Amino acid sequence: MTLIASGGVIIAAAALFIVLSVFAGLKDYSLNFSTFVDPDLKITPLKGKSFQWSENDNATLLKIEGIASHSKIIEERIIIKSENKNLLATLKGVDHNFLKVTNIDSMVTNGNWITPESNEVVSGWGISNNLSFGVFNYLKPLSLYVPKAGKGQASSVQGYYNSVYVKNVGLFEINEKMNNNYIFSDINLAKQLLSYKDNQLSAIELKLKPDTNEDAIRSEIETAFGNKFKIRNRAELNDALFKMLNTENLAIYLIFTLVIIIALFNVIGAIIMMILDKKKSLNTLFNLGTETKTIKSIFFFQGSLMTIVSGIVGVSIGLAIVFLQQTFSLIMLTPDLAYPVRIEFFNVVVVLITIFTLGIVASKIASQRITRGLIQS
């Protein structure tokens, strides 16, 4: 009975650790794609959609140590038209430094990245599929539209919109959101379409030098520019994804904690069976002067020790399995992609604390079954 109870705790502890390691790996895998398109820091206006960025502002930014590169961005919702099909999407106009800030060009799976000072665009696969256009498809003209700012009536339909003809030279594949919503162009084309002034921008994206203190950089930017801008890092730019992953991780933890609680019922049962089996010996100890409290503590420590040792063994088995998966890719998601896992010291601590706490509670509950009446019966 004791071996069965210990085996249940070992399996539950190993399973909890493995599942938490899998979710840590899946989190890294999911967020890995954001590193290709999201900067280390993004500066956006605190109010409105755009802001004025002067040469003095640019010089002030360049004086801040720790910034490896920066890119000027214009971003706005537009309408894409291909033949008789229309689609609402987000145009992101970028300058020549954008590829120094991100690695999005490595995610272009068909065609190539845009040429500076051109009317070329790179679209997501989702947009391409919805509008049925490809790369260098000159037989299907592609045009971008955006409503003109201003008041009053226009003399023609064209007076309500700014438009520009573009040619799609590449298709990128990052994630569903990006693929279905984003199209990239040169920043000057975006300025022309949106009628922006030369120094009018939507955002500044920053690439930080390795081993740079992000909080220190943010503090320097806030000191230099006051409260004019909102500064967000990669995690804050993907806060919805982070919340979803953390919620799923918590849900899985609670589910497997319930499994551990069920496994610990075996521990309670094993201790009670030992109490009944050793009732004559307990009666002898009681007659020799041993207090009931002392007898309870014997079984409490025995149950606690059993769960602690079983928890350590279970976590050790889980560590070995996760390490083997990392090293030898035992389980594959696809022929080219191993199931992602990551060993975290925090997960080891969480599993051990969970096992120890619940095991001690279970042992306390079981040892409370010992009474004077039970011993003397």
Q: Both 111 and 155 in a single domain?
A: yes
Mark which of 210, 236, 262 sits at the end of a domain. Answer: 236
Report the domain count for the chain.
Answer: 2
Q: Which residue has the higher pLDDT, 337 or 348?
A: 348
Do 15 and 148 lie in one domain? The reply is no
pLDDT value at position 258? 93
Provide the pLDDT for residue 17: 96
Range of the domain at 165: 39-236
- The structure tokens listed for 337 are 């992609």
Per-residue confidence (pLDDT) for residue 155, from 0 to 100: 56
Per-residue confidence at 346, pLDDT binned at 50, 70, 90?
very high
Mean pLDDT score, 309-335: 94
Q: What do you get for the CA distance between the two ends of the chain, in Å? A: 23
Could you tell me if 98 and 213 lie in one domain?
Answer: yes
The reply to whether 127 and 163 lie within a common domain is yes
Residues 337 and 308 grouped into a single domain:
yes
Give the mean pLDDT of 106-130.
95
From CA 336, how far away is CA 285, in angstroms rounded?
A: 65
Q: pLDDT category, 125, cuts 50, 70, 90?
A: very high
Domain end (from 236, 260, 278): 236
pLDDT band at 318 (very low <50, low <70, confident <90, very high): very high
**Mean predicted confidence (pLDDT) in 264-289:** 85
| Arithmetic mean of pLDDT over the chain | 90
pLDDT given at position 87 = 95
pLDDT of residue 374: 75
- State the pLDDT at residue 243: 86
Query: Higher model confidence: residue 306 or residue 242?
Result: 306
Q: Residues 120-127: what's their mean pLDDT? A: 96
pLDDT in tens, 198-247: 899 999 999 999 989 999 999 999 999 988 899 999 889 988 888 888 89
pLDDT tens-digit readout, 88-116:
999 999 999 999 999 999 999 999 999 99
With a cut of 80, say whether residue 376 has pLDDT above it.
Answer: no
Query: Please, which residues have CB within 8 angstroms of residue 172's CB and are 6 or more apart in sequence?
Result: 104, 107, 108, 109, 122, 123, 124, 125, 178, 179, 184
Residue 54 has pLDDT above 70, yes or no: yes
DSSP string, 197-236: -TTEESEEEEEEPTT--HHHHHHHHHHHHTTSEEEEEHHH
pLDDT of residue 159: 67
pLDDT at residue 281, rounded to an integer: 83
Q: What separation in angstroms does the CA of 135 have from each of 172, 176, 342?
A: 11, 19, 38
State pLDDT tens for residues 149-180.
766 565 555 667 899 999 999 999 988 889 99
What Rg, from alpha-carbon coordinates, does the chain have? 31
Kindly state whether residues 65 and 93 are assigned to the same domain.
yes
Answer yes or no: do 195 and 273 share one domain.
Answer: no
- Would you place residue 372 in the very low, low, confident or very high pLDDT band (cuts 50, 70, 90)? confident
Rounded Cα distance, 98 and 78, in Å: 21
Which of 207, 236, 265 delimits the end of a domain? 236
The reply to whether 229 and 162 lie within a common domain is yes
As a whole number of angstroms, the longest Cα–Cα distance in the chain is 109
Residue bearing the bigger pLDDT, 263 or 373: 263
Q: Are residues 133 and 275 in the same domain?
A: no
Q: Tell me the pLDDT tens digit for each residue of 1-16.
A: 678 889 999 999 999 9
Mean pLDDT of 322-344: 92
pLDDT at 68 over 70: yes
Average pLDDT over every residue of 115-134: 94
| Same-domain status, 232 and 247 | no
Closest to 133 (Cα-Cα) out of 104, 116, 110: 110
Q: Are residues 266 and 201 part of one domain? A: no
Question: So what's the pLDDT on residue 151?
Answer: 62
- Per cent of the chain over pLDDT 90 is 66
The pLDDT score that the predictor gives to residue 335 is 87
In this structure, are 252 and 331 located in the same domain? yes
